[in-house]
């Protein structure tokens, strides 16, 4: 008997029959009632390609063959590169990567639930912290700094991240013009337009509006990404029970219809440009009227649409692993662990959400660190169980028979690092005495205490100062249009 | 020349290769290197590296234990050579340890024994289900500084009390420090039976043992 190849545990949440039906109904919906597109250029593009366009209503009826064509040109896989030029994120297959949740508007300020405005120094510290945590494969433009005008909020956070990151980044634009500034900064870092397209370092999230609407801004971002070969990540977010039907399979149909329309527009703009089947749907909370992310209903929609994306042979993304709690408490633990583990078992190529609380409104340094532990466990789970020896145990156990001496056995020394995921000391695995001796602390206390230590291991940006100066000039030029003459100083350490 | 060998000896402990430690020790003795030099310049620096790596979280229990195993195998070769030269190794103390009568739980006791050896103590591990008189004679024969008593059951932990009583009757109580451990054992139980100390885990036991022999924690 040969040693078996590693078996990767995978979650299938819906049958293949239902998957096919979801896709079929989505394609039928794109024809009738069609999709609203609030952008003249996109309307013309689709009309020229043979879609039925009502320019007055800004309504497009997409024929099925146009969807099928787009699906044949959309690549099934691509890589994101770090700033040193290494391919570090593989969008494709069942590879799973993690990045922090994006675009929070507040920061958790203390352990009593106070949320405060994030500032430049906070984002710099956050980007550095993400660099030091191996659990995160990519950066995200994690929150919006309040010490610059809102009009440059999107590009300013990318500007800050580019100053301190090595890992690739998941980002997004809030405007049509700012996308171009962000692209210009990325081109500057990559060393040219062609270099950026051949070795992308960033992905742009683009979010259709449920149900079945592309706003002027998002569809422009989508087309610009395609044209420039910068990967776009579709983030469709049906809200089951309000902006989509309450039945979960129907929410997945709506997600598929919106996402397919995105693939069509994107591939019509530039066939073969990289695009991701992503999302951030939720099941509406019927008691409070909120949009819970750490919710089993939401997770079911997520897992199902990821499965649909895989069936279509597209790279996938999801928003899982965040919590709606306002504190780092048992609720935040339950919700973050549940989502993270399910996303890993679903094989989503990029999972966003680390650090996030309060319906994706609030980022937390401590939660980012705690979530890294969950991600560590999830990654171990994905590796599954392998037969390390042949026979698996028989010969070894015949040698040792009834002695419980495996701890001193060379077999243990040989395998324990490969077999066992060993968490960092952030998780308390010691005795009661040891825990008391260390001050009877919670995991949040411990996370808080290691932030500075982690930051001290941060490796500065590999980019030359001249290039960083160029980035500053680009960002400053735009800031001045909005009345900010000088950007906030970068922290000096 | 011997510097290279010392380095290899240290590395064999750090790499967790007891066979190599044994062979290198043999080789060193064959080359006429003094046993104390082998210990102090090869083995002890190796164990210190292992200990440091454990303290910083890079190494784990199996790394410590396999290094201790290598150290023990080297000492099997070195001890006869030391006594032939009428030399003695300075050690923090001698420990007699075992699981009490009626109790066959081994893992916790063995872990403590191994951790104590890894920290330089001379350890006599009497095993499990050890009758009281065997503990007493072992303490007497080895001139032990510390007696470690393990019990995993609420029904057997009373044996710890009986052994302490027997030591008193034998006039040995003041000569030996007693540490107790095991899942049902608590600090208040340790106080009640007049043990000298109690630890909840193997690392705590090492700290306690060092404290009991008069060193610093």
Q: Where are the domains of chain A?
A: 1-386+423-493
Chain A CB contacts of B128 under 8 Å are none
d(CA B102, CA B151): 9
**Chain B: closest CA distance from residue A296 (Å):** 36
Chain B CB contacts of A434 under 8 Å are 200-201, 203-204
d(CA A260, CA A179): 23
pLDDT of residue A493: 67
For chain B, how big is the Rg over CA atoms in Å?
18
Tens of pLDDT, residue by residue over B67-99, are 989 998 999 999 999 999 998 888 899 999 999
B103 touches A at CB < 8 Å: no
**Chain B: closest CA distance from residue A381 (Å):** 21
Interchain contact, A407 vs B110, CB within 8 Å: yes
Q: Are strands A97-100 and A106-108 parallel, antiparallel or unpaired?
A: unpaired
Q: Which residue of A has its CA nearest to B187?
A: A433
pLDDT of residue A408: 83
Q: What is the predicted ipTM?
A: 0.78
Examine the fold and report which residue of B31, B61, B84 is the final residue of a domain before the chain moves on.
Answer: B84
Query: In this structure, are residues A185 and A200 in contact, taking their beta carbons and an 8 Å threshold?
Result: no
Examine the fold and report which residue of B84, B104, B124 is the final residue of a domain before the chain moves on.
Answer: B84
CA B33 vs CA B1, B20, B38, B87: distances in Å: 11, 17, 7, 14
Q: Which residues of chain A have pLDDT under 70?
A: 1-5, 493
State whether B80 and B98 are in the same domain: no
- Tell me which residue of B92, B107, B86, B98 sits closest to B129, measured CA to CA: B98
Q: Which two tokens stand for residue B85?
A: 């030269």
Chain B CB contacts of A410 under 8 Å are 16, 18, 66
A405 touches B at CB < 8 Å: yes
Given A404, A422, A433, which is nearest B199 (Cβ)?
Answer: A433
pLDDT of residue A413: 94
Question: What is the domain extent for residue B166?
Answer: 94-212
Residue A256 φ/ψ, nearest 5 degrees? -65, -40
A406 touches B at CB < 8 Å: no
In a domain, B57, yes or no: yes
Interchain contact, A434 vs B201, CB within 8 Å: yes
B62 touches A at CB < 8 Å: yes
A457 touches B at CB < 8 Å: no
| DSSP for B140-154, written as a single string | HHHT-SEEEEE--ST
For tokens 């087309």, the residue is A223
Residue B159's CATH number: 3.40.50.280
Query: In this structure, are residues A234 and A259 in contact, taking their beta carbons and an 8 Å threshold?
Result: yes
pLDDT of residue A5: 64
d(CA A303, CA A192): 38
In a domain, B217, yes or no: no
A84 touches B at CB < 8 Å: no
Q: Which two tokens stand for residue A50?
A: 């043979």
- Selected for mutation to probe chain A from B200, B208, B211 (highest A CB count within 10 Å) is B200
Assign A200 to helix, strand or coil. coil
Interchain contact, B110 vs A405, CB within 8 Å: yes
Query: In this structure, are residues A111 and A151 in contact, taking their beta carbons and an 8 Å threshold?
Result: no
**Chain A: closest CA distance from residue B114 (Å):** 9
- Tell me which residue of A351, A342, A374 sits closest to A443, measured CA to CA: A374
Interchain contact, A407 vs B111, CB within 8 Å: yes
CATH code for the part of the protein at A1-386+423-493: 3.20.20.480
Chain A CB contacts of B107 under 8 Å are 404, 407
CB atoms < 10 A from the CB of B46, how many?
Answer: 25
Given B63, B111, B204, which is nearest A413 (Cβ)?
Answer: B63
State whether B160 and B204 are in the same domain: yes
A163's CB contacts (< 8 A; 6+ apart) are: A124, A461, A463, A468, A471, A490
Tens of pLDDT, residue by residue over A177-216, are 999 999 999 999 999 999 999 999 999 999 999 999 999 9
A416 touches B at CB < 8 Å: yes
Tens of pLDDT, residue by residue over A91-146, are 999 999 999 999 999 999 988 999 999 999 999 999 999 999 999 999 999 999 99
**Chain A: closest CA distance from residue B73 (Å):** 13
Chain B CB contacts of A432 under 8 Å are 200
d(CA B207, CA B217): 5
State whether B102 and B202 are in the same domain: yes
pTM: 0.89
Q: Which residue of B has its CA nearest to A411?
A: B62
Examine the fold and report which residue of B84, B107, B122 is the final residue of a domain before the chain moves on.
Answer: B84
For tokens 């912290």, the residue is A129
A440 touches B at CB < 8 Å: no
- Selected for mutation to probe chain A from B62, B64, B200 (highest A CB count within 10 Å) is B62
d(CA A55, CA A315): 32
For tokens 């030091």, the residue is A132
| DSSP for chain B, written as a single string | -HHHHHHHHHHHHHTT-HHHHHHHHHHHHHTT--HHHIIIIIIHHHHHHHHHHHHTTSS-HHHHHHHHHHHHHHHHHHHHHHHHTT-----S-EEEEEEBTT----HHHHHHHHHHHHTT-EEEE--SSB-HHHHHHHHHHHT-SEEEEE--STTTTHHHHHHHHHHHHTT-GGGSEEEEESTT--HHHHHHTT-SEE-SSHHHHHHHHHHHTTS--
List beta partners, residue A331.
Answer: none
Mean pLDDT score of chain B, rounded to an integer? 92
Given A416, A431, A433, which is nearest B62 (Cβ)?
Answer: A416
State whether B124 and B45 are in the same domain: no
Nearest 5°: CA angle at B69, between B68 and B73?
115
Query: In this structure, are residues A208 and A258 in contact, taking their beta carbons and an 8 Å threshold?
Result: yes
A413 touches B at CB < 8 Å: yes
If you count residue pairs, one on A and one on B, with CB atoms under 8 Å apart, how many are there? 43
Given B62, B111, B203, which is nearest A413 (Cβ)?
Answer: B62
Tens of pLDDT, residue by residue over B8-55, are 999 999 999 999 999 999 999 999 999 999 999 999 999 989 988 988
| DSSP for B102-128, written as a single string | T----HHHHHHHHHHHHTT-EEEE--S
B66 touches A at CB < 8 Å: yes
Whether B186 has a pLDDT exceeding 90, the answer reads no
Chain B CB contacts of A408 under 8 Å are 62, 65-66, 69, 110, 114
Q: Which residue of B has its CA nearest to A416?
A: B62
Q: Which two tokens stand for residue B49?
A: 């590296």
State whether B100 and B192 are in the same domain: yes
Q: Which residue of A has its CA nearest to B68?
A: A408
In a domain, B89, yes or no: no
Interchain contact, A413 vs B203, CB within 8 Å: no
Share of chain B above pLDDT 70, in %: 98
**Chain A: closest CA distance from residue B178 (Å):** 19
A438 touches B at CB < 8 Å: no
Nearest 5°: CA angle at B149, between B145 and B150?
145
Interchain contact, A431 vs B60, CB within 8 Å: no
Average pLDDT over residues B161-185: 93
Buried/exposed A233-264: b ≥16 CB within 10 Å, e otherwise: bbbbbbbbbbbbeeebbbbbbbbbbbbbbbbb
A424 touches B at CB < 8 Å: yes
Share of chain B above pLDDT 90, in %: 72
Chain A CB contacts of B60 under 8 Å are 416-417, 422
Interchain contact, B65 vs A422, CB within 8 Å: no
């Amino acid at each position: 008997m040969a040693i078996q190849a590693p078996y990767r545990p995978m979650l299938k949440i819906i049958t293949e029959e239902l998957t096919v039906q979801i896709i079929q109904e989505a394609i039928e919906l794109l024809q009738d009632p069609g999709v609203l597109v609030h952008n003249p250029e996109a309307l013309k593009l689709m009309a020229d390609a043979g879609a039925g366009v009502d320019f007055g209503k800004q309504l497009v009826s997409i024929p099925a063959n146009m969807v099928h064509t787009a699906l044949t040109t959309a690549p099934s896989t691509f890589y994101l590169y770090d700033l040193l030029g290494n391919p570090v994120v593989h969008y494709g297959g069942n590879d799973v990567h993690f990045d922090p949740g994006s675009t929070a508007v507040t920061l958790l300020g203390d352990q009593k639930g106070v949320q405060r405005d994030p500032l430049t120094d906070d984002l710099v510290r956050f980007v550095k912290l993400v660099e030091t945590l191996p659990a995160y494969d990519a950066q995200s433009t994690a929150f919006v700094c309040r010490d610059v005008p809102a009009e440059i909020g999107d590009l300013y956070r990318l500007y800050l991240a580019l100053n301190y990151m090595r890992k690739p980044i998941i980002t997004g634009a809030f405007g049509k013009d700012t996308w171009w500034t962000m692209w210009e900064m990325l081109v500057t870092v990559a060393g040219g337009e062609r270099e950026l397209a051949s070795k992308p370092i960033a992905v742009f999230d683009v979010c259709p509006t449920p149900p079945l609407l592309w706003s002027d801004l998002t569809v422009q971002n989508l087309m610009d990404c395609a044209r420039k070969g910068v990967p776009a990540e579709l983030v469709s977010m049906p809200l089951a029970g309000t902006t989509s039907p309450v039945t979960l399979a129907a929410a997945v149909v709506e997600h598929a219809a919106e996402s397919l329309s995105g693939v069509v527009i994107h591939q019509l703009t530039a066939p073969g440009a990289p695009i991701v089947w992503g999302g951030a749907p939720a099941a509406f909370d019927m008691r409070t009227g909120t949009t819970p992310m750490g919710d089993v209903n939401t997770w079911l929609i997520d897992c199902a649409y990821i499965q649909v994306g895989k069936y279509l042979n597209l790279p996938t993304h999801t928003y899982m692993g965040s919590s709606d709690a306002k504190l780092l408490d048992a609720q935040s633990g339950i919700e973050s662990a549940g989502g993270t583990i399910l996303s890993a078992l679903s094989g989503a190529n990029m999972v966003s959400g680390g650090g996030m609380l309060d319906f994706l409104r609030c980022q937390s340094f401590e939660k980012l660190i705690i979530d890294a532990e969950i991600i560590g466990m999830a990654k171990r789970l994905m590796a599954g169980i392998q037969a390390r020896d042949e026979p698996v145990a028989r010969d070894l156990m015949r040698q040792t028979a009834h002695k419980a001496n495996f701890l001193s056995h060379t077999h243990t020394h040989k395998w324990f690092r490969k077999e066992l995921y060993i968490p960092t000391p952030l998780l308390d695995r010691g005795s009661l005495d040891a825990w008391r001796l260390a001050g009877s602390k919670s995991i949040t206390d411990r996370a808080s205490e290691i932030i500075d230590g982690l930051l001290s291991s941060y490796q500065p940006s590999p980019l030359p100062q001249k290039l960083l100066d160029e980035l500053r000039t680009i960002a400053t030029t735009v800031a001045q249009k909005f009345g900010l003459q000088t950007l906030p100083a970068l922290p000096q350490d | 020349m011997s510097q290279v060998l010392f380095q290899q000896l240290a590395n064999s402990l750090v790499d967790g290769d007891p066979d190599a430690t044994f062979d290198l020790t043999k080789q060193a003795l064959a080359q006429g290197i003094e046993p104390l030099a082998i210990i102090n310049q090869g083995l002890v620096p190796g164990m210190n590296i292992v200990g440091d790596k454990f303290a910083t979280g890079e190494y784990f229990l199996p790394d410590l234990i396999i290094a201790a195993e290598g150290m023990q195998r080297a000492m099997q070769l070195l001890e006869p050579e030391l006594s032939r030269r009428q030399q003695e190794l300075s050690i923090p103390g001698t420990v007699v340890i075992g699981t009490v009568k009626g109790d066959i739980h081994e893992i916790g006791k063995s872990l403590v024994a191994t951790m104590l050896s890894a920290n330089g103590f001379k350890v006599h591990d009497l095993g499990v289900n050890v009758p009281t008189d065997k503990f007493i004679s072992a303490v007497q024969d080895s001139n032990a500084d510390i007696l470690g008593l393990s019990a995993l059951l609420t029904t057997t932990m009373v044996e710890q009390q009986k052994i302490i009583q027997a030591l008193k009757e034998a006039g040995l109580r003041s000569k030996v420090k007693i540490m107790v451990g095991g899942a049902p054992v608590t600090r208040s139980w340790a106080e009640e039976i007049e043990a000298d100390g109690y630890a909840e885990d193997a690392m705590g036991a090492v700290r306690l043992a060092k404290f009991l022999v008069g060193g610093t924690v």
